[in-house]
Amino acid sequence: MDVSQYLEIFLDETDEHLQNLNTQILMLEQEPDNMDTINEIFRAAHSLKGMAGTMGYKRMQTLTHDMENVFSEVRNGNIKVKAEMIDVLFQCLDALEEYNTNIRESADEGTNDNEPLIKQLNEIMNEGKGGAESSSSEEAPAASQAASATGGKKWLEIKLGDSERAVLKEAAKQGQNVYGLTVSIQETCILKAARAFLVFKAIEEDGEIIVSDPPAQEIEDEKFGLDFSLVVVTGSSLDKVIAAAKNVSEIQDVLGDVFDPDQEVSAEEVQETKEKQEEAAEHAAAPAETVPAPAVPAKSNKKAEEKKPAASKPVVNRTVRVDIEKLDTLMNLVSELIIAKNSLVSASTVSGTSSTAVNEQIEYLESVTTSLHESVMKVRMVPIESTVSKFPRMVRDLQKKLGKKMELYMSGEETELDRTVVDEIGDPLMHLLRNSADHGLESAEVRRERGKPEVGSIFLDAYQDGNNVVIEVRDDGNGIDTQAVRNKAIERGVITPEQAENMSEKDSIELLFNAGFSTAKVVSDVSGRGVGLDVVKSKIEALSGEVEVKSKLGEGSSWIIRLPLTLAIIQALMVDIGNEKYAISLGAIQTIEDIPPQDVKLVQAKEVIQLRDLVIPLIRLNEILDIESKKDPEENMVVVIVKKGDKLAGLVVDELIGQQEIVIKPLGKYVSKCKIISGATVLGDGEVALILDANTLI
């Protein structure tokens, strides 16, 4: 069967499972006895194995299979979770990820068999078994006995209800034959439910299925392992029934015998003891659990699947996966619509056709386009969780690599951002975390000397702040040694010694973002190859965001990333300066003030105003933009107070035009030299207005 059409789904789901495994194994390391975690891991490993098998990726299947075995031992309490084991498991996950990458690139899993890993897994298994055997030597023989008692004839385990038993007895009295059957399906089968259905149909031609295990509904939903059991009432012989079932393709084997409803009771008697021993039986049978092991080991799989789907997916999510490009197209169309709407508004005012009716309709159109835009935006928003959830694992690895003790605390993973931003933000964040781990946190000894807890803390907090999303990476390490930064910068020739003397703390920190700057005394493979913070900065600026650093020597530093919630369409305040129109993002604006010219004071030769106990620097936009103001200097000034982080500034403009929804268009490379302009927009009359970037002005 051609499975290539499922490749995408397979890759997506594998990613999900791997991520899940990463998280769960991390949890397992924290609380080795948490049964829920172990079950969850087992389930994820099992699904992975099944999926890899279905898609024909044998190496991936083998590896997950061995991992699953280890988990099953852990679940049964035969192996204790140890640090080495966690390490091996993480390596396995890396190997699986590699397979996945290979498959994504070439639809082939590659040729790496990962034998050392499989060997290590087997060693863990054997160790566990050795321990189990010595501790429960009595159980083992009993277990094997139990295993041979059922020996694949799993219909013996079917529990009958009273009514069913009555039906069977009645049938037996009438001279009908009652058979128990266990049908096992080939492991390579893709449509198990369909095969099971055909088996049902074939048997029902000549008889009646009284009970099935698992119940018919679950079989239909494919919630079973590789086998299922039936109790059948039929007029024909056992051989005929078996032959009919075997006739269905992809059926591995069908076992059957006369089913005695009364004997089932005695079977029930052993049930209890058997159940106790079953786990041991499973592991006794584990070595034999290679490909064609249909009966007992497979059962454990089935059980796991049966028990859990209800818990993990109680409600079916009504979602669709949509290609991001389609959403981009939709977004562009919405942008066009908004421009067209703006044109309509200005056309109606200019041509003088405006009547109440027209205005009403335009207002209605306005509200529709606004909500349309919001909806499209929301569709594109995803929680940053998908990106940040890999960080705990990374920090754990760093801890081992660097020999430092550290802990990552995350909050606000549910904060949502535009999909494209979420995809891009991963690398910069990873870099900042590595930076904190490598340069920020001190070694355990130094921390002890300084009276800090030995285990360093790194925090990653995300939250929404107005029209921005803020992601903060914080550590309680050494902070930034600005003197060392300056010395390094002089050494590198970035600044001169004279410049260094007059440098403020803030400017010194800014030096870190210089290309080719690395303060690590030793180049490690974790961070500090000279590329880094400058890349972080440019990446975030490319997303129209910004980075801010706060640091206190000896106490730690925090890196604050501020990203706009939306990239394409914003609410803006249009202002007039001279004869030109400019837009200022409403998100940055705090208030608008009317200031008499005599209220302007001079502090350090710079103009400031005092506003409700705050001293706010004034920025005369006409001077910065080289425009002649057409306003009388004696008149009251219109001052737009903008905010960046906790800093404020007052922008002096000539006139306010009004609030408008604008579509941001990039200015392109040719005019990228102008940093205070973040983009342009097309106004209703077809003219272009520039968007002022309040952040760079402050």
Question: Which residues are tagged catalytic?
Answer: 46, 68, 435
Type of residue numbered 608 = V
Q: By CB under 8 A, tell whether 619 contacts other proteins.
A: no
Q: By CB under 8 A, tell whether 671 contacts other proteins.
A: yes
User: Taking CA 615 as the corner, what is the angle to CA 610 and CA 616, rounded to the nearest 5 degrees?
Assistant: 95
Specify the stretch interacting with other proteins by CB under 8 A; choose among 148-156, 233-241, 426-434, 681-689.
681-689
Residues 54-83, interacting with other proteins (CB under 8 A): none
Q: By CB under 8 A, tell whether 666 contacts other proteins.
A: yes
Smallest gap, in angstroms, from Cβ of residue 469 to other proteins? Answer: 26
Residues 620-639, interacting with other proteins (CB under 8 A): 624-627
Q: By CB under 8 A, tell whether 657 contacts other proteins.
A: no
Q: By CB under 8 A, tell whether 336 contacts other proteins.
A: yes
d(CA 223, CA 212): 13
How crowded is residue 407: how many other Cβ atoms within 10 Å of its Cβ? 14
d(CA 248, CA 57): 26
Smallest gap, in angstroms, from Cβ of residue 368 to other proteins? Answer: 20
Taking the C-alpha atoms of 273, 278, 284 and 287 in order, what is their torsion angle to the nearest 10 degrees? 160
- Nearest-Å Rg of the Cα atoms of the chain is 34
Q: By CB under 8 A, tell whether 344 contacts other proteins.
A: no
Specify the stretch interacting with other proteins by CB under 8 A; choose among 210-218, 304-312, 451-459, 686-694.
686-694
Lookup result for tokens 């997950």:
64
Residues 487-546, interacting with other proteins (CB under 8 A): none
User: Taking CA 32 as the corner, what is the angle to CA 28 and CA 35, rounded to the nearest 5 degrees?
Assistant: 85
Nearer to other proteins, 342 or 399 (CB): 342
Specify the stretch interacting with other proteins by CB under 8 A; choose among 309-317, 318-326, 594-602, 674-682.
674-682
Smallest gap, in angstroms, from Cβ of residue 298 to other proteins? Answer: 58
Specify the stretch interacting with other proteins by CB under 8 A; choose among 294-302, 314-322, 587-595, 677-685.
677-685
Smallest gap, in angstroms, from Cβ of residue 678 to other proteins? Answer: 12
Structural tokens at position 229: 């059991």
Q: By CB under 8 A, tell whether 603 contacts other proteins.
A: no
**Spatial contact of 600 and 606, defined as CB atoms under 8 Å apart:** no
Question: Comparing C-alpha atoms, which of 662, 494, 636, 487 is closest to residue 566?
Answer: 662
Q: How far apart are the first and last CA of the chain?
A: 63
d(CA 494, CA 693): 27
**Spatial contact of 128 and 84, defined as CB atoms under 8 Å apart:** no
Nearer to other proteins, 110 or 578 (CB): 578
Q: Are strands 456-465 and 406-411 parallel, antiparallel or unpaired?
A: parallel
Among 84, 275, 427, 687, indicate the residue that binds other proteins (CB under 8 A): 687
Among 191, 324, 333, 674, indicate the residue that binds other proteins (CB under 8 A): 674
Q: By CB under 8 A, tell whether 574 contacts other proteins.
A: no
Among 125, 339, 408, 584, indicate the residue that binds other proteins (CB under 8 A): 339
The interface mask with other proteins, positions 289-328, x = CB under 8 A, is ----------------------------------------
Q: By CB under 8 A, tell whether 677 contacts other proteins.
A: yes
Smallest gap, in angstroms, from Cβ of residue 624 to other proteins? Answer: 7
Q: Find the DSSP H helices in 76-138.
A: 83-106, 115-135
Question: Comparing C-alpha atoms, which of 339, 437, 380, 181 is closest to residue 663?
Answer: 339
d(CA 197, CA 217): 11
Name residues whose C-beta falls within 8 Å of residue 210's C-beta, 6 or more positions apart in sequence: 164, 167, 168, 231, 232, 233
Among 60, 231, 690, 694, indicate the residue that binds other proteins (CB under 8 A): 690
Nearer to other proteins, 337 or 618 (CB): 337
Q: Which residues pair with 595 in a beta bridge?
A: 637
Q: By CB under 8 A, tell whether 676 contacts other proteins.
A: yes
Q: By CB under 8 A, tell whether 553 contacts other proteins.
A: no
Type of residue numbered 480 = I
Smallest gap, in angstroms, from Cβ of residue 332 to other proteins? Answer: 10
Nearer to other proteins, 492 or 665 (CB): 665
Considering CB under 8 A, how many residues would be counted as binding other proteins?
Answer: 27
Nearer to other proteins, 508 or 585 (CB): 585
Specify the stretch interacting with other proteins by CB under 8 A; choose among 69-77, 110-118, 378-386, 619-627.
619-627
According to DSSP, residue 214 is labeled S
Lookup result for tokens 């990476």:
473
Smallest gap, in angstroms, from Cβ of residue 382 to other proteins? Answer: 28
Lookup result for tokens 């007029």:
235
Nearer to other proteins, 243 or 671 (CB): 671
Per-position DSSP letters for 25-62, written without gaps between them? HHHHHH-TT-HHHHHHHHHHHHHHHHHHHHHT-HHHHH
Smallest gap, in angstroms, from Cβ of residue 341 to other proteins? Answer: 13
Type of residue numbered 667 = L
Smallest gap, in angstroms, from Cβ of residue 563 to other proteins? Answer: 23
d(CA 212, CA 229): 6
Nearer to other proteins, 247 or 332 (CB): 332
According to DSSP, residue 175 is labeled T
Nearer to other proteins, 399 or 681 (CB): 681
d(CA 180, CA 263): 12
Smallest gap, in angstroms, from Cβ of residue 686 to other proteins? Answer: 6
**Spatial contact of 55 and 61, defined as CB atoms under 8 Å apart:** no
Nearer to other proteins, 173 or 669 (CB): 669
Residue 642 φ/ψ, nearest 5 degrees: -115, 160
Question: Comparing C-alpha atoms, which of 642, 645, 638 is closest to residue 691?
Answer: 642
Q: By CB under 8 A, tell whether 680 contacts other proteins.
A: yes
What are the DSSP E strand ranges found in 203-356? 207-213, 227-234, 251-258
Smallest gap, in angstroms, from Cβ of residue 575 to other proteins? Answer: 14
Specify the stretch interacting with other proteins by CB under 8 A; choose among 14-22, 383-391, 518-526, 684-692.
684-692
**Spatial contact of 569 and 338, defined as CB atoms under 8 Å apart:** yes
Q: By CB under 8 A, tell whether 5 contacts other proteins.
A: no
The interface mask with other proteins, positions 576-595, x = CB under 8 A, is ----x---------------
Question: Between helices 238-246 and 192-204, what is the axis angle to 10°?
Answer: 150
Q: Are strands 580-585 and 589-595 parallel, antiparallel or unpaired?
A: unpaired
Residues 186-205, interacting with other proteins (CB under 8 A): none
In the complex, the residues that contact other proteins under the rule CB under 8 A are 336, 339, 580, 624-627, 665-671, 673-677, 680-682, 686-690
